[in-house]
Amino acid sequence: MSQNEFYPEEVLIEKMQSGEYGWLDYVNHFSAEWQEEYVSYCRQNNLTVGNDSAATFVRHKDEQLETAMENGDA
């Protein structure tokens, strides 16, 4: 993935809502860690890098956070 400027989640949500960004942009501008995790996620699940797989990845990250919160780990 290319090196991008990163934004707070609130800014990314605004850019998504305005139509300026899609899911792939969201992932790429969230953090360098997410960029790396996303590429790995795509490889592990035989997914093509793009908006659909990026949306799936974000749902996956949300589920991880929910699980961590339920277990008292977040």
4-28 pLDDT, tens digit per residue, is 799 999 999 999 999 999 999 999 9
pLDDT number for residue 74:
67
Backbone region of residue 19 per phi and psi (left: phi > 0; alpha: psi in -120 to 50; beta: other values): left
Residue with tokens 């961590």: 68
Q: 50 vs 68, which has greater pLDDT?
A: 50
Kindly state the percentage of the chain with pLDDT values over 70: 95
* pTM reported for the whole predicted model: 0.86
How far apart are the C-alpha atoms of 74 and 68, rounded to whole Å? Answer: 5
Per-chain mean pLDDT for the chain: 93
